[in-house]
Amino acid sequence: MAEKILQIRNLTTGFMSEKGLAKATDRVSIELEKGQTLCIVGESGSGKSVTAMSVMRLIDYAGGIIADGEVLFNGQDLVKKKQSEMLKIRGNLITMIFQDPMSALNPVFTVGDQISEALRIHKGLKKQEAWMQSIDMLRRVGIPAPEIRVKQYPYELSGGMCQRVVIAMALACNPELLIADEPTTALDVTVQAQILDLLLQLKNEFRMSMLLITHDMGVAAEVADRIAVMYAGTVVEEGTVREIFEQPRHPYTIGLLKSIPGLEGERGGELYTIKGSIPPLSQLPKGCRFHPRCPYAMDICRHKEPEMHESPTGHKAACFLDEADGSDPRPGAAKSQETKSAAKVTIRSMSEVAQS
Ligand SMILES: Nc1ncnc2c1ncn2[C@@H]1O[C@H](COP(=O)(O)OP(=O)(O)OP(=O)(O)O)[C@@H](O)[C@H]1O
Ligand code: SF4
Ligand SMILES: [Mg+2]
């Protein structure tokens, strides 16, 4: 069996409010194999970032509380670690890239100082050695004239360059796991595809595993081995990129796929949107949390919560349609390969159009 680098089990995280714990994730379970890329997709507010921040235990500093569950990293439960122990893991064995590169960089230090610091803290390198390695990292992330750039401040670099510096910082200590939370969304469309390509190339070069968070199915189609679909704080479907695009089982996933621009949209039809909006976890409906928005909702969906079912190939979904007798109303796989291609084309073409 393939080795798992990360096993998130029944992770429930929340924030204290006047009424007690307001959940932000609810029994999230996700597994990542060594060397693979798992994408977490889902609408805004579905709990993607809270899941990532919980893995890093940065959630503690954002006022969050891990109420239940485990986060096994190479078999060790990070939930049980003290913050002093996490300091040896975070920024070293597990690193994270955020959406906005400017907020990750300190404006008053040169980029060389910032990459060097990580190398000196975690790898114990001497000043000169860390500086030389910083130049090498800038070169590896495709920054031209790294000997000059290394002495510059973040404000002297473009957004794309800054995100390359952040990637250099994240990879400097050769982490085993890279978590990237919407790493391209704040960037100009011309550089989005370049940064994604760079991440994939470096992931292979550094033999890392990657947990990539995105609300963009196009990005997931481009980079993922497996995809976990989150809705209202929990995972509703998980499978290989092929299973998700060719045989989506959860109606929410089907809705996300139908909403990809370039399918209905480019052909003159209206772009599909999933009706309604995601509920806060404090106001979840009874039964299946997706039922008020689900075009296939049945009686049982309004009373009972569906459990996750796993196919023999490992494709998981939580939907009563998998247990229902009679004809299946969900659309078949006929258009699915087309959907995946459209998703990939969307981000490529955005970039190409912008460049022309
Ligand atoms: N610091 C916080 N305090 C209170 N609630 C929070 C905090 N951070 C997140 N939440 C809540 O947790 C839930 C999940 O938020 P999260 O940021 O994980 O969503 P997301 O899937 O990353 O969305 P997006 O795509 O917009 O980044 C939301 O309901 C959000 O309001
Ligand atoms: S369980 Fe019912 S409401 Fe929920 S996604 Fe499946 S069909 Fe829709
Ligand atoms: Mg987020």
Taking the CA of 322 as reference, the closest ligand is 2
CA 76 to chain centre: 21
Taking the CA of 65 as reference, the closest ligand is 1
Give tens-digit pLDDT for 218-235: 899 989 999 999 999 999
Comparing 17 with 347, the larger pLDDT belongs to 17
Q: Is the CB of 14 under 6 A from ligand 1?
A: no
Q: Is the CB of 297 under 6 A from ligand 2?
A: yes
Mapped onto helix, strand or coil, the DSSP state of residue 227 is strand
- In which region does residue 145 sit, left (phi positive, over 0), alpha (psi from -120 to 50) or beta (all else)? left
Q: Check residue 19 and give its pLDDT.
A: 84
Q: How many helices (H) and strands (E) does the chain have?
A: 12, 12
Percentage of residues in the chain having pLDDT higher than 90: 73
Residue 324 has pLDDT above 70, yes or no: yes
Q: Which CATH architecture has domain 1-93+175-356?
A: 3-Layer(aba) Sandwich (3.40)
Residue appearing with tokens 């889902």: 42
Q: Is the CB of 251 under 6 A from ligand 2?
A: yes
**What residue ranges do the domains of the chain occupy?**
1-93+175-356, 104-174
Give tens-digit pLDDT for 138-192: 999 999 999 999 999 999 999 889 999 999 999 999 999 999 999 988 888 888 8
Comparing 6 with 122, the larger pLDDT belongs to 6
What is the rounded average pLDDT of the residues 244-259?
94
